Amino acid sequence: MKKHRPLPTTEHSNRRSKNIDRLSTAQIVELINSEDMLVVPAVGKERKKIAVAVDVIVEHFRKGGRLFYVGAGTSGRLGVLDASECPPTFGVSPKLVQGIIAGGRRALVRAVEGAEDNANNGAREVIKRGVCNKDVVVGIAACGLTPYVRGALRQARKLKAGTIFITCAPESVKGIPARIIINPVVGPEIITGSTRMKAGTATKLVLNILTTTAMIKMGKVYGNLMVDLTATNNKLRDRSVRIVVGMTGLSRTKAAKLLERAQGKVKAAIVMHFRKINLHQAITVLDECGQSLRKAIKEGK
C-alpha cells in the first residue's frame, strides 16, 4: 500500500483560531497579531542557513551569475516583488535578480488555476531564462510540494546552478532537490491553508535578508547608506543629495551640483569629491576597487 505523505504544517488547523468567527473585531486583530509574533523567531532559527545561502549567492554574483526566484501564488509574487525592488535600491541591472512565477505576469494580479501543478513548465522556464552554472535558483513554496517549483529546481541542478529552497513545512523537506533548505516553521495559519499570512511574512523576511546581505557584500552599501541607489523619483533624488551631504559635508546646493556632474551616481560623486577626480576616473577607480566605496575612498587618502 502506498504511504500517504504527511500533511504539511501549513495545512494544519490552528486550534487557537478555531472559533475566530465568533470573536469581536478587537479580539481577531489581537489573535492575528499574536500569531504574527511567532514569525521572527522562526526565521531567526534559520539564520545560519540563510548566511550560507547568502555566501552562495555572492559567490555566483562574483562569477557574473544571476539570482532567480521561482514560486507560485503568494510565494511567486513575493519573489517577483523582491527582485523588482533590487534595481532602484541597489542600482543593479533588472537581469541580476529575477522573479519567475507560475502562470506568468497575469498570475501577479490574478490566480491562474493549475499553473503550479506542472513540473515540466517550471523546468522549461529555467531553460528559457538560460540558467547555467554561474546562476543561483531559489525555489519558494510555503508547503514545499509545489510541482512547478520542484521541476524548476531539478532542472537547475542538472544545469549545475546553485540551488536554494525556502519552505515553512518541515514535513516536506525530505527529497527537495536543493543544496540549501531554509525552513522557518511558523506553524498552522490563522485561516487554515492561507499561507499569504504567517508563511508569506516569513518568506518576505528571508528574501529581504538574502538580497540585502548579498548586496552589502557586493559593495552596494556604505555604512547603512544605499550608495548605489538609482534616483528615479523626487524622493530618491532627495535621498541621493542627503547621502552626499552626509558623507562629504557639502551644502545641499554643492552636493546637488556634484551629483549632476556624476550623472546622478551617488557612489561616483563621493569618490569624485574625496579624490578630486572626474566621473570617468571615479568609475575606473571603483571598478579597480571591486565597487567598494570604502576601499575607493581609503586608497585616495
Active centre residues (catalytic) = 85, 116
| Grid cell 506568468 in the structure block, residue | 104
Beta strands in 77-135 (DSSP E): 97-101
Nearest alpha-carbon partner for 220 in 100, 131, 96, 133: 96
Q: What is the CA radius of gyration of the chain?
A: 22
Q: How far, in Å, CA of 28 to CA of 14, rounded? A: 14
- Residue 196 vs residues 38, 75, 184, 188: alpha-carbon distances, Å: 15, 8, 15, 12
Range 278-291 burial, b when 16+ CB lie within 10 A, else e: eeeebbebbeebeb
**Which amino acid appears at position 297 of this protein?**
I
Range 125-160 burial, b when 16+ CB lie within 10 A, else e: bbeebebeebbbbbbbbbbbbbbbbbbbbbbbbebe
